[in-house]
């Protein structure tokens, strides 16, 4: 009997010791991991226990915090001009997480980032006051682009070519992030996520589409650098119409009477001659076209710091596919960010500065924690002489060609229009593109803009980059320069 009791006692003691060991392990060695676990509700409670830091545009906060009706969450996020800045800020939600700048800088904004905390904060495991994210977005440029796009489905990106600062990032239709920041917003969330127009999609960064004739700038760069043609005013050996190599498919231009036969690069860009650039791309070959595109940023995912989708020039193309890729068709895709980068590099003497939309990250007292403005990278994409020739051609496009709607009095403007086929056999409404740069000779301020319009109320026959996208670029350029 005593032996049985002793065994039971020993077994019980072992269980108690195991329980103590487990408790010690959890409280001492696993405490931080458990505290940081995404499923720990205390994280959410702590995050909203104090006002969040803010995202700043033009010196003013476009975010805020207000008292929450939820008993466990003291504050909820608010947004000023939410639809205007949603492509920049993203959202932070008590239920659905955080995106864009709200997601990337969440720990800074809620005060939990180690760089914000004092030793006492760390010891007591409490958050410091939230820091701020200061963007490079110019409020007037942003507003001009948003209003110019209006009820169209599309996007626009504006960059300062000399600094890489993103001055505007617009995506329409948009949404108000304030609708989904609480704990009882399921209906609003469902409405947004089931909307066929995809208002929560950042079309400026995350919607690569066929770039159409705007891609001809890349092909022209490759042709000049390769020495295929010594300058933009040398006649090309280009038939009109052009039969795609190894096929019986005949490629024509928008109008049959355009001066595209053996046209110079200048004239071919001025009138957007498909036949010329398809032939040039075939002469160069896919490897040289792809290599040039990659120098401009294609086949990469730029971080702004929000990561953009890669723009793509396909590999393993045959001869006719290479020709079609030369006019921004086949399987070419590009984001507005990417095409703005092309124009920015051309305007900046062939130098591409890393595009970014955050200038500084600070603590609550204004002390700088991160300095993206001081960490940009500059790459010589094309030689200065090539950039100079393309600048001249792009001015011709605006002054005497398809980009006339982008003219600004007293300002030097260069651009390239594009109309990209959409759907099988071009059955859907085409995409309208415009990529551009502008500088003011008096102030030397400069800007590069790319715009795409996916859908509008315009009848199909009148869809063009000049008509739909050009005025958006013009509005953003005027806002910055004037």
- Helical ranges in 317-383 per DSSP H: 319-325, 336-347
CA 353 to CA 379: how far, in whole Å? 7
CA 289 to CA 325: how far, in whole Å? 9
- For the chain, count helices (H), then strands (E): 18, 18
Residue by residue, DSSP assigns 204-264 as HHH--B--GGGGHHHHHHHHHHHTSSSSTTSBP---SSEEPTTS-PEE--SSTTSS-TT-B
CA 165 to CA 480: how far, in whole Å? 13
CA 331 to CA 322: how far, in whole Å? 10
Specify the DSSP class assigned to residue 50.
Answer: S
Q: Which two tokens stand for residue 372?
A: 């993206």
Cα 153 off chain centre by: 15
Cα 90 off chain centre by: 13
356 φ/ψ angles, rounded to the nearest 5 degrees:
-155, 150
CA 274 to CA 293: how far, in whole Å? 18
Q: What positions carry a catalytic annotation? A: 213
Burial of 315 (0-12, 13-18, 19+ CB in 10 A): exposed
Contact present, 377 and 353 (Cβ < 8 Å): yes
Burial of 308 (0-12, 13-18, 19+ CB in 10 A): buried
Contact present, 334 and 298 (Cβ < 8 Å): yes
Residues 6+ apart with CB under 8 A from 286: 315, 316, 317, 321, 322, 325
CA dihedral 136, 141, 465, 302 (to 10 degrees): 10
């Amino acid at each position: 009997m005593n032996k049985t009791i002793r065994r039971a006692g020993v077994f019980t003691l072992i269980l108690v010791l195991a329980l103590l060991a487990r408790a010690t392990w959890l409280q001492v060695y696993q405490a931080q991991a458990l505290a940081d676990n995404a499923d720990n509700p205390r994280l959410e409670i702590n995050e909203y226990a104090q006002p969040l830091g803010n995202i700043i545009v033009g010196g003013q906060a476009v975010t805020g915090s207000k008292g929450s009706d939820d008993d466990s969450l003291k504050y909820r996020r608010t947004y000023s001009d939410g639809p205007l800045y949603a492509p920049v800020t993203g959202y932070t939600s008590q239920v659905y997480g955080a995106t864009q700048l709200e997601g990337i800088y969440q720990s800074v904004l809620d005060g939990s980032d180690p760089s914000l905390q004092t030793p006492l904060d760390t010891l007591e495991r409490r958050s410091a006051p939230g820091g701020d994210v200061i963007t490079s977005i110019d409020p007037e440029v942003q507003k001009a682009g948003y209003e110019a796009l209006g009820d169209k489905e599309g996007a626009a990106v504006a960059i300062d070519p000399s600094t890489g600062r993103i001055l505007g990032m617009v995506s329409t239709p948009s949404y108000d992030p304030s609708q989904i920041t609480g704990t009882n917003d399921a209906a609003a969330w469902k409405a947004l996520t089931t909307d066929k127009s995809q208002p929560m999609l950042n079309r400026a960064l995350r919607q690569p589409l066929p770039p159409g004739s705007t891609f001809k700038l890349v092909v022209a760069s490759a042709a000049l650098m390769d020495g295929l043609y010594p300058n933009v005013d040398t006649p090309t050996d280009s038939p009109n119409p052009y039969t795609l190599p190894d096929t019986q498919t005949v490629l024509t231009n928008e109008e049959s009477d355009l001066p595209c036969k053996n046209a110079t690069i200048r004239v071919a860009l001025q009138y957007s001659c498909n036949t010329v650039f398809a032939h040039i791309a075939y002469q160069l070959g896919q490897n040289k076209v792809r290599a040039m595109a990659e120098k401009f940023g294609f086949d990469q995912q730029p971080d702004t710091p929000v990561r953009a989708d890669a723009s793509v020039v396909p590999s393993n193309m045959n001869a006719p596919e290479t020709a079609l890729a030369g006019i921004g068709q086949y399987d070419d895709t590009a984001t507005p960010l990417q095409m703005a980068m092309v124009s920015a590099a051309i305007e900046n003497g062939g130098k591409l500065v890393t595009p970014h939309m955050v200038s500084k990250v600070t603590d609550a007292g204004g002390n700088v924690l991160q300095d993206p403005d001081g960490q940009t990278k500059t790459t010589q994409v094309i030689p200065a002489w090539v950039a100079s020739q393309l600048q001249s051609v792009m001015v011709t496009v605006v002054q005497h060609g398809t980009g006339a709607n982008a003219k600004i009095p007293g300002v030097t403007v260069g651009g390239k229009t594009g109309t990209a086929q959409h759907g099988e056999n071009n059955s859907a409404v085409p995409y309208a593109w415009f990529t551009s740069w502008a500088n003011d000779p008096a102030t030397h301020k400069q800007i590069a803009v790319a715009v795409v319009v996916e859908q509008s109320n315009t009848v199909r026959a009148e869809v063009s980059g000049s008509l739909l996208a050009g005025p958006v670029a013009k509005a953003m350029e005027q806002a910055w320069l004037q």
